[in-house]
Structure 1
Amino acid sequence: MNKYDVLGVVGEGAYGVVLKCKNKDTNEVVAIKKFKESEEDEVVRKTTLREVKILRIMRHENIVQLKEAFRRKGKLYLVFEFVEKSMLDILEANPNGVDTETVRVLTCQLARAIEYCHRHDVIHRDIKPENLLINPADNALRLCDFGFARTMSADTPLTDYVATRWYRAPELLLGSTHYGKDVDIWAVGCIMGELTDGQPLFAGESEVDQLFVIQKVLGPLTPEHMEMFLRNPRFLGIQFPDVSRPETLEKRYLRRMPKLQMQLLKGILVMEPRRRLSAREMLRMPWFEAVQGLGCRV
């Protein structure tokens, strides 16, 4: 840390702290993620090493750039490019949502970041406003925090508890350990909705409430989901109220969402994971045709 001056604290989490720093030699401002635990904690060590390994192969303009990683006194430090704001800051400043063009530009960049991850067999698993960094000058977006990210390998069970509840796909809420890239796609739909009117699309107060809130808008769970629900001891004895007449996404965003945006959202927020659009298919949707200079067409 000798070559950096600490300018302030950007954020804190269970893992440690993110500091805003300046390189004494170059005057470049960077963000440094300093991990709390020393190497002795095996779980933390494995998680951080996995994050570093994934970040080292991620080279894309919509993914935060890892500049270097080093250790001091047993603690790990990751040095990233510094980005001024997060999407959470943008949402807090715009409680009724942002204009359609901004939604389109930000969603397009997020889709590009996800398409790149998925093409390299990486699932992010924790897409939420705090993990989307935005430069207010030009709305350039960077996906960050790969602490929960995993590389896909055939038939390896994955952990069921990932992603902040509001952005979690139904299969994650139901405890599946054989989900896929589709969980990231679901989160993109939730982000798109929240940017549109400033409100989280599915703001459940618990896992079971989250499942109910989703069904109130999209209709009942699939038979496969229902089977998982009945098998999961966490939900023993719980029944859902009647959701045969859902609110629908159209009603939810009446007069707030252009037709082509709604077409995309409906292709993303599909209960059946295999029927959700892939990131590549998302980028080919007509809604992105008008976005210039961001490489949104593939």
Structure 2
Amino acid sequence: MDSPPPSRSWSIYTRREITQKYQILERVGSGAYADVYKARRLSDDLIVALKEIHDYQSAFREIEALQILNNSPNVVVLHEYFWSENEDSVLVLEFLRTDLAAVIREAKREWKGGMSVGEIKRWMVQILHGVDACHRSSIVHRDLKPSNLLVSDDGVLKLADFGQARILLEPGFATAIDNPQLDEQNNPNEASFFHPPEVISETDNQGQEGSRNQEMTKEEYFRELDKLKARGSLDEVDEETNVHDGNTSCLATCTASDIGDDPFESSYSYEAEGGDEICGPLTSCVGTRWFRAPELLYGSTIYGLEIDLWSVGCIFAELLSLEPLFPGTSDIDQLSRIFNVLGNLTEETWPDCVKLPDYKTISFSKVENPSGLEACLPNCSTDEILLVKKLVCYDPASRATAMELLHDKYFNEEPPPVPISELRIPSANSGQDEDSPGGWRDYKNMDSDSDFEDFGPVDVTTTGSGFSIRFP
């Protein structure tokens, strides 16, 4: 992970335009790409969160997504933001003290019997409403996990940390970097491609949503995705700007930046089947590993809303069992855990899997007797397991949408979702991760790839353009 440039000041305490409006109370989170402070707005004593983002691309994406989702009740509110050429951007967000990860920890440690079915249903309904709002606006979040689902003291859950989000615009996926008219106040004489005013108030966000709220049916969506696949990678912007979307080493895309000692450097190059174009800062490295869809682990750069749906399935399973569904210690271990439960990824389970960039590069021995999701969720009802299966499945086109799930009978049968006011909220958040680059806090030790020693012997075969790795 790159260290920050020493010449730039990252302290918001010296920013007069901020300190004139906000009293900074304490830092509540810190990471490589962002610091979060609790603050008080001087005009009305409102407690807010000041998120100082050190990465230009992440700041841009988060601001744009939150502007579009400004009126969504299950998405964190962006009050205003500060942006200038020589300083990090600072987002003023509503302050939410805890998150769903803390709720799960509390339920596991302190609540006899864990969460009730009614509580689980209410959390899921709120998650699905937030995800549906994103997807209706063609926004793929790309990093859904319990620690990015913030919770208010009265039980309202809100999606947060949109630093990895991307927006789907006709005729395909693109960020607003491709749209120079994102902000009508842009100065056409400026060299930089995005130059918002230094301070944008929450009242200045009107009229943004209509131009992007391109709704389409599930069938129409996948038809458009097929057209994009025929044209090639969707991530030219990321390659041109050379900005990494994730802070992990993606073994599946042959990026070895986080491996201290290259185990193949004496005999093999880190060039996968297909050549150099699939290596480097590709967006298959987005999201947190435990919640990352298998197509991303195999290096896909052609994907869309469906990767969020896999993540939602993993979150739902964790609410049910109070344990992570696939707690991999590396990308390879992550795939191994998925295969041990669901069976191997084959053309029978998903015909298009052979098109994944690394499908033929990294292979596993056949799992003869996969355990199935039932073994991971032993105390769950048939309906609950079926709902997880609608999300945690290999073929992206088979994953149920958020709106389809909201209409599922599970949420309309007894026991009903409890009222939000009856949700149990931890009295104090515990286990805060000071290294979190995303929301206020994070899981630990799930984003750094381990070395190959964890997996025993591996078979390495040279190919015409690189190598193939087989794991027993």
Distance, in Å, in 1 between the alignment partners of 2:310 and 2:296 is 11
Letter in 2 for 1:132: L
Q: Hey, what's the Cα distance between the residues in 2 that align with 1:169 and 1:35? A: 26
Deviation at 1:174, TM superposition (A): 0.5
Q: Which shifted more, 70-79 or 180-189?
A: 70-79
Q: Structure 1 residues 261, 21: CA separation in 2 closer, same or farther (over 3 Å shift)?
A: same
Q: Secondary structure at the match of 2:364?
A: coil
2:383 matched to 1:260? yes
Please provide the CA RMSD for this pair. Answer: 2.0
Aligned pair partner of 2:321 in 173, 197, 200: 197
Residue 146 (structure 2) aligned to one of 104, 124, 129: 129
**Structure 1 CA distance for aligned equivalents of residues 140 and 357 of structure 2:** 24
> 1:225 maps to which residue?
353
Go from structure 1 to structure 2 and tell me whether the alpha carbon gap of 1:143 and 1:230 turns closer, same or farther (over 3 Å shift): closer
SS of residue in 1 equivalent to 2:108: coil
Equivalent position amino acid for 1:206 in 2: S
1:67 matched to which residue of 2? 79
Deviations 1:8-62 (A, max 9, x none): 12211222201111112201101110123xxxxxxx3233122211111102100
Q: Provide structure 2 residue ranges, at least 5 long, that are not aligned to the other structure.
A: 1-17, 173-227, 236-282, 421-472
- Kindly indicate whether residue 135 of structure 2 is the aligned counterpart of residue 118 of structure 1: yes
**Residue correspondence of structure 1 range 126-165 to structure 2 within 5 A:** 126-137=143-154, 139-153=155-169, 154=172, 155=228, 157-158=234-235, 159-165=283-289
Q: Which amino acid aligns with 1:133?
A: L
SS of corresponding position for 2:115? coil
**Equivalent residue letter for 1:71:** W
CA distance in 2 between partners of 1:226 and 1:90 (Å): 39
1:293 Cα deviation after fit: 6.8
More off after superposition, 59-68 vs 47-56: 47-56
Deviations 1:99-119 (Å, cap 9, x if unpaired)? 322221111111111111111
Q: Bigger radius of gyration, 1 or 2?
A: 2
TM-superposed CA distance for 1:222, in Å, is 2.9
Structure 1 residue 268 displacement after superposition: 1.0
Q: TM-score, normalised by structure 2?
A: 0.56
Q: Specify which structure has the bigger relative contact order, considering alpha-carbon pairs within 8 angstroms and separated by 6 or more residues.
A: 2
Q: Deviations over 1:102-147 (max 9, x none)?
A: 221111111111111111110000001111001243x210000100
- Matched with 1:243 is 367
Partner of 1:78: 91
Contact 2:62–2:163, Cα closer than 8 Å, also in 1: yes
Specify the code of the residue in structure 1 equivalent to 2:410: W
Q: Distance in 2 between matches of 1:228 and 1:57?
A: 31
Write the distance in 2 (CA, Å) between the matches of 1:116 and 1:196.
24
Q: Which amino acid aligns with 2:97?
A: E
Q: Is the 8 A contact 1:222 1:271 kept in 2?
A: no
| Partner SS state of residue 50, structure 2 | strand
Partner of 1:39: none
Contact 1:88 1:130 in 2 (8 A): yes
Q: CA deviation at 1:291?
A: 3.3
CA deviation profile, 1:145-170 (whole Å, cap 9, x unmatched): 10000001413614211010000001
CA-to-aligned-CA distance 1:249-269 (integer Å, 9 cap, x gap) = 1222122x2332222111111
Equivalent residue for 1:8, pick from 26, 29, 33: 26
Alpha-carbon separation, structure 2, partners of 1:213 and 1:202: 6
Shifted more, 167-176 versus 224-233: the winner is 224-233
Contact in 1 for aligned 2:78/2:94 (Cα 8 Å): yes
TM norm structure 1: 0.88
Decide whether aligned partners of structure 1 residues 136 and 260 sit closer, same or farther in structure 2, where only a CA change above 3 A counts: farther
What do the CA deviations read for 1:74-101 (whole angstroms, capped 9, x no partner)?
2211001111201122222233653322
Which residue matches 2:56? Answer: 45
How far the C-alpha of 1:67 sits from its partner, in A, is 0.5
**Gapped regions of structure 1 (runs ≥ 5):** 37-43
Higher mean displacement: 98-107 or 139-148: 98-107
SS of 1:199 mapped into structure 2: coil
Residue aligned with 2:60, SS: helix
Q: Distance in 2 between matches of 1:197 and 1:46?
A: 36
CA distance, structure 2, for counterparts of residue 34 and residue 232 of structure 1: 41
CA positional deviation for 1:226: 5.2
**Does the Cα contact within 8 Å between 1:174 and 1:225 map onto a contact in 2?**
no
Aligned amino acid, residue 170 of structure 1: P
Whether contact under 8 Å (1:67, 1:79) holds in the other structure is yes
C-alpha distance in structure 2 between counterparts of 1:230 and 1:135, whole Å = 41
* CA drift at 1:292: 6.9
Structure 2 counterpart SS, 1:48? helix
Q: Do residues 274 (structure 1) and 397 (structure 2) align?
A: yes
Q: 1:152 to 1:99 in 2, by over 3 A?
A: same
State the AA in 2 paired with 1:78: L
1:86–1:130 Cα contact (<8 Å) kept: yes
Match of 1:160, SS? helix
Distance 2:341 2:64 in 1: 39
Residues of 2 paired with 1:157 and 1:277: CA distance? 23
Question: Is the contact made by 2:300 and 2:357 (CA closer than 8 Å) also made in structure 1?
Answer: no
- The SS at the match of 2:163 is coil
Rate the CA distance shift 1:100–1:292 in 2: closer, same or farther, 3 A. Answer: closer
SS at match of 1:114: helix
